[in-house]
Structure 1
Amino acid sequence: MSAIWKYFTLETTTSSTAICNLCKIKVSRGGSSVAVYNTTNLIKHLKNHHTEEHEEFRQAKQKKDEESKKQLTLPEAYSRHEKLPNNSPKAAKITEKVLEFIVLDDQPLSVVDNVGFRRLMEYLEPRYSLPSQKYISETALPEQYSRVMTLIEEQVKDAQSMSFTADIWSSAVCPMSLLSVTVHWVNPQSYDFQNVVLQVKGLCGSQTSTSISTVIREMLGKWNISLKKVHTIVRDNASNMKKAMDDLGIASLGCFAQSLQFVIHEGLLSQRSVSDAVASARKIVGHFKHSPLACTLLEDIQTELQMTQKRLKQDVQTRWNSTHQMIASLLEQKRALCAYAADHNLPVKLTANQWALLEKTMNILALFAELTRNISSSTSTTADVIPAISVLERLLSRQDDSDTGIKSMKTTLLQAVNRRFGEVQDEPLYSIATLLDPRYKDRYFTRKDTAKSAKDALAREVEKMEEILQRTSTIVGEPAAKLLCLEAARPSTSTSQCSLSSLFEEILEEHEDPTAGRSITSTSSQIQTYLAEQTIPRSDSPFQYWRINQHRFPALAATAVKFLCAPSTSVESERLFSTVSNVIGERSRRLTADKAEMLFFLKKNLPLVLK
């Protein structure tokens, strides 16, 4: 940039005039467009009206010209073309960024051998030598994995109670099965809900309960996580997973989202009238999916009807949410489809009754879809299950005039819900978590006996927590480390500066009944006070409620940290495998299980570190 701009300012980058900083006069930049603007008029203005500044500008320009003409020494010229040593800080940083690109964008490790990528790196930094695939795989990847693992380990070790999600995935392009374990906990200081991928490990041989339990035990051992710290494991509903948790002696829960899927298939899509209408809809969508001509004709009709051009969505029969999306796309294009059917053949034609049935089916599926989205969020916990079921039961049991033709469908759905979730309120892992969620408390229990049993179970848990707190602190609710600092700050009773208040406290401590602070009356009073207060809005965070109220209800808050760390679904583990096909695809089918484990671990945890 010219030194003249030290004395002039532009209102915008495309302004035809420049403002003199000394006299505030606007001076033309010359030329008729941005491409031909110059600084000649600006220099003349400085020379004619500001002599001293012009001389300063002239000297600065002369110095700059001399420096540009200065000939480089031989070492300087050579260094500009010399390759960076592989162990230099800049080369190491570039290699680290290349690995981040591979991990975060699901690129194969072999991308470093691609001609286009190598040419790009050569252009961006000619002195950098791009390492081979072997170096990335054998050296850079393990080093990055080790660094991130150390950082995650620092976070996990401070967790007081942890819950896990577990899921198994098998590759369709190579003989590989992987077990993923995600850990969830509530930070005891900030009360933030956190989760990271703990490990993804290859399963050899049959996926028996013994092999699964062995792998999970090895995972926990690798991370130095005691079984006593494990609150629960949320798994899929397969019998081998359930038995594996039983063999480990760990409490486990089935995935709530998967159970909801079973309810929909058993109570809704199994209905003969509904399944026939959905099958017909599937044939219509398939007709346009497999015929480019039919698809083009439909788009022309959409344009004529002044509708947005949209393609119909094909469903996957094992995924009910895709069926919901397919029905929604059909109903949205109903006018265009009817116009198409008037002049062209369709494999089947939907009757008026079937259209009405599909619309009502979509409305019910939309409710399940919304519920599934809520419970599948990253902050959803087991506390959300009982309220969700209670709302679902009330919705399905309510009858109105709009239910004509689907009353039996709703009845069947309600029966499926009762069959799948009839004993949920009797499960302490769900009921206690619900009580400890300030958004729900005891308001969503449908039976008085289950509500009473849940409160009794909560009282027992709080009593246990009070014992733990009293063992680790002399003032309930204060961390032991903080209390040690307080003790160090107190004056010694052996000095003449001993205060009367410390003596009073000393005498009280000598005669204090160690069980006084743990009486059932105190526990019951704390629980009753908490439950009697108004619930917070559903949009508020239960974790932040306990952060604010931990000093009012110390034992309850500590119990909430334990029970609210459990997610309601195993979606976090399933989400990990949603990107597996990108990592282990046709280009990476020779990827070994240990390298795949590192890539998955970094894919999910590296963004947390980069933040």
Structure 2
Amino acid sequence: MDPLRQNKLDEALVKIIAYDYQPFSIVEDKGFREFLKTVDPSYTLPSWKTLSQALLPNMYEKLRAEVFVKIKNASAVCLTTDCWTSVTSTSYMSVTCHYVQDFVMTSHLLDCFVLTDRHTSAHLLSELKRVANEWGVSDKVVACVTDNARNIVAAVGDQLHWDHIPCFAHVLNLIVRAALKEIQDILQKIKAVVEYFQRSTVASDKLKAIQQQMGQEQLCLRQDVATSWNSTYYMLKRFIEVKDPAIFTLVLINAPVSALSTEECEIVQETVDILKPFEEVTVEVSTERFVTASKVILMARGLQRIVARHQRNPSVHEPVQKLVDSLMSDRFSKVEQIEKLGDATCLDPRFKKQAFVNNMAADDAVKRITAAAAHIHPSHTEEVEGQDPAAAASTGAMVWEDFDKTVINTRPSSSTDASTSSSSTAAMMEMRAYLAEPLLSRGSDPLAWWRMCSPVYKTLCEVMKTRLCIVATSVPSERIFSKTGQNITDRRNHLSPSKVRELVFLNANLP
């Protein structure tokens, strides 16, 4: 076979392992070998050892080099990180990188590796510093987004001195989890019902039959997970959707679990309605393909207004009213004071200063952005227009003595001061003109606007790249663990940490 074609098929085989979570032993499976023989009899299928020890590492190193070059060209990056323990009781840590490249949000997994020591702030600090140094981004990190665990907050903010941004999805999780305690008894009853239907084949089959008789779609009940509040929302939402056939089934088969009363079902319905905006916000801010940090202030305020509306129209059910009161959390109160979020909001042409409730916070954001723009503004050198340098040099100094003495105190003390003054003025003029621009429609792409207007707002555009690259949540790092968990399966339970690292990296970064 042509070596080039052999290499392409080898790479495709590695992608099957990385993309589809297939075991290396697939090359020994009779059906797979027969399939490849039918497709291309000339292809020499590598052994699982060659696949694992040569082909996979080679593709990993190749892709790593490509990603490194891309990140090297980024002017600023935002990192996210999180930790997770697998079903094999192995602890992993992931680090993702986000930046604006050619006016497009770009994301990469930098590393997903085993944590071999306790999760102390010192150990997390050491690992974060190692990853940042390996990828050459130590001096480019403008923010690091994590949950609010003390160890990681201390490592990021107190020791690495990176700006720490609290994960907005984590904040929402804490708020809603606390509020759901007000209907804990009802939640437990629903969980018991869900578990019963999942455990009992007779009950689940009867439920499907009754749904069919009622002309309803055959939907299964959903169970929640302790770490994700929106999974509880989905559990409640699904329960409401199948409420009538589910309760009828429980009564019909005399199930050993308690069915919900009419009042309890009303409470669940109201809870779902109240929590729906929280779920929508969680989904919207958890993306990594679009600008998200600039939305946090507006979304926090929007959720507060919705909750306040429910408070003004109290529920007849006391548990629901207590849940609503709990949702009016003071965790939202200082969101405008998180400087990088304020800057990102102001630099989003959809929002600017209009997103702020606190005028002082908006003005502070404008000042910070203007100062940053002035700092990066190109130096201006003084020129004497229309004068021959040779003629000026030959002219006697005495002729200009009186004039020079007159103007010397009106000039900046040095060329550096003059450049700084000029840069500050230019930055202020740019900022003033930018703020005077009409707001972009909310559904528009802010980065596309900056692409179009970058020739006009050159320095602000450079500052923008250091703010709109910030993501609102650490969900990108959490998603990596979903991939990691799928890699460690029954057929792949003997993977070494180094192989998991390579496979997850390929899965996350391959186009």
Bin of the TM-score, shorter chain as denominator length: 0.7 to 0.9
* Equivalent position to 1:153, from 43, 57, 68: 68
Distance 2:336 2:221 in 1: 41
Matching residue within 213, 216, 235 for 1:307: 216
What per-residue deviation string (whole Å, max 9, x for no partner) do you get for residues 443-476 of structure 1?
A: 122223322322222222222232xxx05x989x
For residue 427 of structure 1, what is the aligned residue in structure 2?
Answer: 338
**Within 2, Cα distance between the matches of 1:292 and 1:575?**
32
Amino acid at match of 1:325: Y
- Residue type at the aligned position of 2:508: K
Q: Is 1:233 equivalent to 2:144 in the alignment? A: yes
Match of 2:470 among 553, 566, 582: 566
C-alpha distance in 1, partners of 2:250/2:120?
Answer: 52
Letter in 1 for 2:7: A
Matched, 1:88 2:41: no
Unaligned runs of 5+ in 1: 1-83, 476-492, 495-510
SS in 2 for 1:198: strand
Q: Is the 8 A contact 1:184 1:565 kept in 2?
A: yes
Residue 234 of structure 1 contacts residue 253 of structure 1 at CA under 8 Å; is this kept in 2? yes
Instruction: State the one-letter code of the partner of 1:368.
Output: F
- Give the structure 2 partner of residue 62 of structure 1: none
Q: What's 2:401 paired with? A: none
1:13-92 to structure 2, matched below 5 A, reads 84=1, 88-92=3-7
Partner of 1:223: 135
Match of 2:298 in 1: 387
Equivalent positions of 1:77-476 (< 5 A) are 84=1, 88-173=3-88, 176-187=90-101, 190-225=102-137, 227-245=138-156, 246-266=158-178, 268-271=179-182, 274-346=183-255, 347-378=257-288, 379-399=290-310, 400-401=312-313, 403-405=315-317, 406-414=320-328, 416=329, 418=330, 420-466=331-377, 470-471=378-379
- Runs of 5+ unmatched residues, structure 2: 383-387, 390-414
Q: Which moved more, 1:113-122 or 1:573-582?
A: 113-122
- More moved, 360-369 vs 532-541: 532-541
Query: Per the alignment, do residues 519 and 223 of structure 1 end up closer, same or farther by CA in structure 2, a change over 3 Å counting?
Result: closer
Change (3 A) 1:342 1:224: closer
Tell me the alpha carbon deviations over residues 65-118 of structure 1, each in whole angstroms, 9 at most, x when there is no partner. Answer: xxxxxxxxxxxxxxxxxxx5xx93332222221111111111122222223222
Q: CA deviation at 1:201?
A: 2.5
> Is the CA contact 1:182–1:196 (under 8 Å) kept in the aligned structure 2?
yes
Relative distance call for 1:332 and 1:402 in structure 2 (3 A) is: farther
Task: State the Cα deviation string for residues 191-211 of structure 1 (Å, max 9, x = none).
Answer: 111111122232222222222
For residues 340-397 of structure 1, the C-alpha deviation after alignment (integer angstroms, 9 at most, x for no partner) is 3553324112122211110010112211110111101121432111111111111111
Q: How big is the shift at 1:551?
A: 2.1
- Name the SS of the counterpart of 2:507 in structure 1: helix
Partner amino acid, structure 2, of 1:565: C
Alignment deviations for residues 93-144 of structure 1 (CA, whole Å, 9 cap, x no partner): 2222111111111112222222322232233333333211111111111111
Question: Which residue of structure 1 lines up, in the alignment, with residue 449 of structure 2?
Answer: 545
Contact 2:82 2:147 in 1 (8 A): yes
Residue 436 of structure 2 corresponds to residue 532 of structure 1 = yes
Matched pairs, number: 475
**Equivalent residue letter for 1:143:** N
Which amino acid is the alignment partner of residue 243 of structure 1? Answer: A
Q: 1:533 to 1:407 in 2, by over 3 A?
A: farther
Please give the per-residue CA displacement for 1:5-39, whole angstroms capped at 9, x wherever unaligned: xxxxxxxxxxxxxxxxxxxxxxxxxxxxxxxxxxx
SS at match of 1:563: coil
Q: Contact 1:176/1:593 (CA < 8 Å) preserved in 2?
A: no
Give the Cα–Cα distance (whole angstroms) in 2 for the partners of residues 299 and 596 of structure 1: 40
**Change in 2 beyond 3 A, CA 1:316/1:177:** closer
| Distance change >3 Å, CA 127–CA 283, structure 1 → 2 | same
Is 1:519 matched up with 2:424?
yes
How far apart, in 2, do the equivalents of 1:519 and 1:221 lie?
A: 33
Deviates more, 1:129-138 or 1:444-453: 444-453
Worse-matched range after superposition: 287-296 or 398-407: 398-407
Higher relative contact order (CA 8 A, sep 6+): 2
Deviation at 1:401, TM superposition (A): 4.2
TM, length-normalised to structure 2: 0.87
1:160 Cα offset (Å)? 0.7
Is the aligned partner of 1:599 residue 2:503?
A: yes
Q: What is the alpha-carbon distance in structure 2 between the residues aligned to residue 209 and residue 408 of structure 1? A: 37
Q: Secondary structure in 1 aligned to 2:79? A: strand
Secondary structure of the residue that 2:469 maps to in structure 1? coil
SS at match of 2:43: coil
CA distance, structure 1, for counterparts of residue 381 and residue 491 of structure 2: 61
Q: Distance in 2 between matches of 1:318 and 1:224?
A: 33
- The answer as to whether partners of 2:79 and 2:144 remain within 8 angstroms in 1 is yes
Contact 1:383 1:564 in 2 (8 A): yes
Gap change, CA 1:474 and 1:214, over 3 Å in 2: farther
Specify the SS of the correspondent of 2:108: strand
For the residues of structure 1 that align with 2:372 and 2:338, how far apart are their CA atoms?
A: 14
Aligned-partner SS, 2:165: strand
Deviation, structure 1 residue 262: 0.4
CA distance in 1, matches of 2:14, 2:287: 29
Could you tell me whether the CA contact under 8 Å between 1:438 and 1:545 is conserved in 2?
yes
1:193 partner SS? strand
Task: Give the percent of matched residue pairs that are identical in Structure 1 and Structure 2.
Answer: 28
What are the superposed Cα offsets for residues 387-415 of structure 1, whole Å, 9 maximum, x if unpaired? Answer: 1111111111124547433333222210x
Write out per-residue CA displacement over residues 414-466 of structure 1, whole angstroms, 9 at most, x where no aligned residue.
0x2x1x23222112111111111111111122223322322222222222232
Partners in 1 of 2:39 and 2:55 — Cα distance?
21
Tell me how far apart the structure 2 counterparts of residues 382 and 184 of structure 1 sit (CA, whole Å). 12
The 1-side partners of 2:421 and 2:223 are apart by: 66
